[in-house]
Structure 1
Amino acid sequence: MSVRNFFKKIVSWELWNFNVLYAPISPVWLWYCLRSRSFWFFTPSNPTIAFGGFEGEGKKEMYEQLPSEVIPLTIYIRNGIPFAAVLAQLEQSGLRYPFVVKPDVGMKGILFRVIENEQQLKKYHDRMPVEYIAQEKIDYPVEVSVFYYRYPWEKKGVVSGFIHKELLQVKGDGKRTLQELIEQHPRARYRLQEMEHRHQHRYNRVLPDQEIFYLSYAGNHNRGARFTNLHPEIDESLLQVFDGLSHYNESFFYGRYDIKTRSIEDLKAGKNFIVLEFNGAGAEPNHIYDCNMPLGTAYKVILQHWKALYTISRYNYQQGIPYWSFRKGKAFLRASRKHFKILEQFD
């Protein structure tokens, strides 16, 4: 990283390491632990998701609690089974190339891949250390995130954040190589080690004029996706859609929906959209990013969401949904961290 990029990363808080960014407000989180007399005060927030959806939950348990018409066609594949059995699952399911693969328990876009053919699938399957999912590739043109929470005693919730996502990508000009495009990209240039790991074998390729090359298919902030704040689009129609999802199983009270849709208008009308992910208690209000928000304002937004998370969790606890014990939560978190460390080694 150049000296210029290094100092730009220091002054731009959106590029800071997660732990550095959250350190100044971490005493507030600790205060909620003390008030609840539980390190895992958030676990009743989404009672039917492991650990409240804070970390380590599987996508299967999330998909099973949403209406079938809003989730992608998905199959679950155990690692280590014969590849012939994988092909049989594909044939039986009707899933066709290209499709998406990713760990059932994953995060931050780790081991997220688009599979174009049988050879790529075999390579992925042979090196996958954990159970994973194969899922239809949703080609709706608009990808968004919606942060929603609802207090359990109320019928209506709150859409607190709404953003559009643009995957990390470069556009060719018929002159520059992929490496040059990456090094001059406003976000990719801060991720040169990752880019080299993923795309070095293509670095000398000159992209044709106007050709789009996706550097990552994961629409995450930590994978370089660009966010555009859509807060003015939040209205009663949008809220009704997510109130409906929250009431579907009466158990999703707090979190962020990652969605692909044909258009914002269709999403508001409750049609032509697919839920890719639901991130529970551990979800960031990612509408703080990429909108020139001052750091102090970003902290205010985060703290408002933490207060809602505490309030929801405390109410559900008082209704008989227990906090996880310290031992149970510690063991789950340790197993989750071990799991992700393994994933990172194979990414």
Structure 2
Amino acid sequence: MSVKTFFSRIANWELWSFNVIYAPISPVWLWYAIRSRAFWFFTPSNPTIDFGGFEGEGKKEMYDQLPADVIPKTIYIKNDWPFAAVLDAIGANGFQFPFIVKPDVGMKGILFRMIQDEEQLEKYHQRIPVEYIVQEKVDYPVEVSVFYYRYPWEQKGVVSGFIHKELLQVAGDGRRTLRQLIQAHPRAKYRLEEMTHRHQHRYDRVLQEGEIFYLSYAGNHNRGAKFTNLQEQIDDELLTVFDRLSHYNESFFYGRYDIKTTSVEDLKKGRNFLILEFNGAGAEPNHIYDCDMSLAQAYRIILQHWKALYRISRYNNQQGIPYWGFRRGRAFLKAARKHFRLLEEFD
């Protein structure tokens, strides 16, 4: 990393590590734990998801609680299955290449891959150390995130954040190599170690003019996706769609939906969209990124969400939903983080 790149990274808070960003406001989180007399005060927020969806929850438990017509076709694969059994499951469920694979319990786009052929699938299956999912590739052109919360004592919730995502990508010019395009990219240049790990074998390839090359298929900030704030698009029509989802099982009160759709207009009409993920209590209000927001403004938004999370969790607890005990939560979190470290080794 050049000196110029290093200092521009220091100057831009969005490029700081998660721990550095959140350290100054962590006493507020601790205060909510003290007020609740529960270290894991957030666990009743989404009562039917392990740990409230803070970390370590599986995608299956989330998909099973949403309407079937808004979930991409998905099957679950044991990593110790013979590869022939994997092919049988894929064939029996009508999957065609390309499709998506990712760990059932995952985060930050770790081991998220698009599989183009049987050879790639076999390599992935032989490598991945945990259960994973095979999911149809959703070709809707628009990817968005919607942050939604609803106080359990109210019928209507709040859409607090709405962003459009653009996957990390470069466009060829017929002259420069992939390496040169990455080094010149405003976000990818900060991720050279990751880019080398993933794409070194293609570095000398010259992309044709206008050719798009996706550096990552994971649409999250951690993987370099570009976010565009759609705050002005939030209205009652959009809220109605997510109120309906929240009331579907009366248990999703706080979190972020990651969605693909044909258009924002169709999403507002409640049609032509599929939910890729629902992230619960641990969801970051990612509309703080890529919108020229100061760190102070970002902190204000984060703290507003933490307050909502505390109020939802406290109310649900008063209705009889217990907080997780300290030992139970610590054991769950320890196991989840061990799981994620294992995934990172194989990513």
Task: Give the structure 1 partner of residue 131 of structure 2.
Answer: 131
Matching of residues 282-297 of structure 1 within 5 Å: 282-297=282-297
TM-score normalized with structure 2 length: 1.00
Aligned to 1:7: 7
Matching residue of 2:148: 148
For 1:97-116, what per-residue CA distance to the aligned partner results, in whole angstroms no more than 9, with x for missing partners? 11000000000000000001
Partner of 1:76 in structure 2? 76
Provide runs of 4+ in structure 1 moved above 2 Å.
none
Residue 203 of structure 2 is aligned to residue 206 of structure 1: no
1:194 aligned residue: 194
Equivalent position of 2:246 in the other structure: 246
User: Could you say what the CA RMSD is over the residues aligned between the two structures, in angstroms?
Assistant: 0.4
Rounded Cα–Cα distance in structure 2 between residues aligned with 1:58 and 1:120? 24
Q: 1:300 deviation in Å?
A: 0.2
Q: How far, CA to CA, are the matches of 1:314 and 1:285 in structure 2? A: 20
Aligned partners of 2:95, 2:108: CA distance in 1, in Å?
25
The code of the aligned residue for 2:271 comes to: K
Question: What's the secondary structure of 1:310's corresponding residue?
Answer: helix
Q: Which residue of 2 aligns with 1:119?
A: 119
Within 5 Å, which residues of 2 pair with 1:298-317?
298-317=298-317
Aligned-pair identity in percent equals: 76
Say yes or no: does 1:40 pair with 2:40.
yes
The residue number in structure 2 matching 1:318 is: 318
For 1:250 and 1:95, how far apart are their aligned partners in 2? 32
Residue identity in the other structure for 1:336: A
- Give the distance between the partners of 2:298 and 2:57, measured in 1 at CA: 27
Alignment partner, residue 166 of structure 1: 166
Number of matched residues? 347
Task: Give the drift of 1:25.
Answer: 0.2
SS at match of 1:191: helix
Partner Cα separation in structure 1 for residue 127 and residue 288 of structure 2: 36
How many angstroms apart in 1 are the aligned matches of 2:91 and 2:202? 32
How far the C-alpha of 1:80 sits from its partner, in A, is 1.2
Structure 1 Cα separation of the partners of residues 21 and 127 of structure 2: 34
CA distances 1:73-92 after superposition (whole Å, capped 9, x unpaired): 00000011100110111111
Partner amino acid for 1:331? A
SS state at 2:322 partner? coil
1:27 match: 27
Distance in 2 between residues matched to 1:96 and 1:66, nearest whole Å: 24
Gaps of 5+ in 2: none
Tell me which residue corresponds to 1:54.
54
> Per the alignment, in what secondary structure is the counterpart of residue 148 of structure 1?
strand
Residue 95 of structure 1 and its aligned partner are, at CA, apart by 1.4
Give the TM-score, by structure 1 length.
Answer: 1.00
